[in-house]
Amino acid sequence: MNETAQGLRTTSVGSLPKPDYLLHARAQRARNEISQEELDELSRRATQEWIRFQEEIGVDIVVDGEMYRGDMVAYFAENLEGMGISGLVRSYGNRYYKKPIATGDIRRPAPITVDWWKFAQSLTEKPVKGMLTGPYTIADWSFDNHYGSRRDLVMALAEVVRQEAQDLEQAGAEYLQIDEPAVSTRLDELDLVIESMAVVTSGLRAHTITHMCYGRFEEVYPRLLDIPVDQIDLEMANSGLELLEKFGAHPFTKAIGFGVVDVHTHKIESVDEVKKNIRRALDYLRPDQVFIDPDCGLKTRTVDEAKAKLRTIQQARDEVRSELVRA
Ligand SMILES: [Zn+2]
């Protein structure tokens, strides 16, 4: 295959919606009405359904959809020593949530996601992406009752995330994504993100990715490229124009995850809209540099909406790819 035919690989950012039976079971588990084993069985069933769907439509790099996780930060905090979960904290008016809290020296007593990754990978010949929440985001979304400095907390978390990344690689993961959505609101701390990511990715041979979204990344470009990963995944469907224009002056030197559908609308984009978004990427980037995906995790959509958006992405990619090969 030539460079064009190999390019524009498709994937997902990470989370996918949980089917109703799993949402129901998670609520039952919270009330202690079913066992963890019963819940895990249903999480495996949902994982299998999502992997099969991605295979059917031809996604290149599949995800497990995070069927077994709740909140992306709390999930890791609950599995680390030295971290706990606070009582209810108020956010956005009348919404309450539980916030992780650092209470002691942070350690990872055992691998957290590795068995789930192995299960997902056993279901498919396609590469399954390993998915981790980054140290900066875990720290930024937690209280600190122990370290006393943001940097110390972030760097302690970087060490445990590095251990998890290495175990995933050891298990066979070819793609490792370390999500750092908190960066977008704190671009003044990009140096700390770079420093901590260097710890996480040091010594890894896997293709490393970080996902960030909804920030004014053009303001920190090209410094953004100093994050030590192979690929940066960004939402580009409804924004990113100013950032793209910067690529003209200073070429984007990494692979890019290029979001081409909005994850916040029920509306399903047309194939033509998505093709237009893919072509925007190709004005500035080579096809082999570009990975096509939704703007962000699809877990807030319904199962049917998420499937329709992923199908649209796949069809748009296939059409653009064959147009490129013919050209
Ligand atoms: Zn996101």
Question: What local confidence, expressed as pLDDT, does residue 208 receive?
Answer: 98
Question: What local confidence, expressed as pLDDT, does residue 3 receive?
Answer: 55
- The contacts of residue 131 (CB under 8 Å, 6+ apart) are 14, 63, 64, 66, 113, 177, 179
Q: Return d(Cα 266, Cα 270) in angstroms, integer.
A: 13
Asked if residue 30 belongs to a domain, the reply is no
The torsion defined by the Cα of 313, 220, 207 and 281, in degrees rounded to 10, comes to 30
Q: Return d(Cα 247, Cα 283) in angstroms, integer.
A: 10
Question: What local confidence, expressed as pLDDT, does residue 4 receive?
Answer: 60
Asked if residue 51 belongs to a domain, the reply is no
3-state secondary structure of 173: coil
Asked if residue 102 belongs to a domain, the reply is no
For residue 327, how far is its CA from the centre of ligand 1 (angstroms)?
34
For residue 325, how far is its CA from the centre of ligand 1 (angstroms)?
31
Q: Return d(Cα 278, Cα 205) in angstroms, integer.
A: 28
Which amino acid, 276?
Answer: K
Question: What local confidence, expressed as pLDDT, does residue 303 receive?
Answer: 98
> Across-strand partners of 179?
133
Asked if residue 285 belongs to a domain, the reply is yes
For residue 34, how far is its CA from the centre of ligand 1 (angstroms)?
32
For residue 244, how far is its CA from the centre of ligand 1 (angstroms)?
18
User: What strands, in cross-sheet order, belong to the sheet with 231-234?
Assistant: 9-10, 290-293, 255-259, 231-234, 207-211, 175-179, 130-133
For residue 76, how far is its CA from the centre of ligand 1 (angstroms)?
17
Asked if residue 232 belongs to a domain, the reply is yes
For residue 131, how far is its CA from the centre of ligand 1 (angstroms)?
13
Q: What is the mean pLDDT of each run of 10 residues along the chain (327 residues)?
A: 73 97 97 98 98 98 97 94 87 77 98 98 98 98 96 98 98 98 94 98 98 92 97 88 90 96 95 96 95 96 98 98 88
Question: What local confidence, expressed as pLDDT, does residue 240 receive?
Answer: 76
Question: What local confidence, expressed as pLDDT, does residue 275 receive?
Answer: 97
Q: Which ranges of 99-142 does DSSP label H, i.e. alpha helix? A: 114-122, 135-140
For residue 288, how far is its CA from the centre of ligand 1 (angstroms)?
22
Question: What local confidence, expressed as pLDDT, does residue 297 receive?
Answer: 96
Asked if residue 27 belongs to a domain, the reply is no
Asked if residue 77 belongs to a domain, the reply is no
For residue 87, how far is its CA from the centre of ligand 1 (angstroms)?
26
Q: Return d(Cα 48, Cα 138) in angstroms, integer.
A: 28
How many structural domains comprise the chain?
Answer: 1
> With 0-12 CB in 10 A as exposed, 13-18 as middle and 19+ as buried, what is 123?
middle
For residue 35, how far is its CA from the centre of ligand 1 (angstroms)?
31
**Residue whose tokens read 């108020």:** 90
The torsion defined by the Cα of 28, 32, 37 and 38, in degrees rounded to 10, comes to -30
Residue among 45, 52, 57, 58 nearest 18 (CA):
45
For residue 213, how far is its CA from the centre of ligand 1 (angstroms)?
5
For residue 192, how far is its CA from the centre of ligand 1 (angstroms)?
19
- CATH number of 179's domain: 3.20.20.210
Asked if residue 90 belongs to a domain, the reply is no
For residue 233, how far is its CA from the centre of ligand 1 (angstroms)?
9
For residue 212, how far is its CA from the centre of ligand 1 (angstroms)?
5
Q: Return d(Cα 108, Cα 139) in angstroms, integer.
A: 15
For residue 72, how far is its CA from the centre of ligand 1 (angstroms)?
11
For residue 258, how far is its CA from the centre of ligand 1 (angstroms)?
12
Name the strand (E) or helix (H) holding 291.
strand 290-293
For residue 262, how far is its CA from the centre of ligand 1 (angstroms)?
11
For residue 203, how far is its CA from the centre of ligand 1 (angstroms)?
26
- Residue 163 tokens read as 């251990």
Range of the domain at 252: 3-19+57-68+108-326
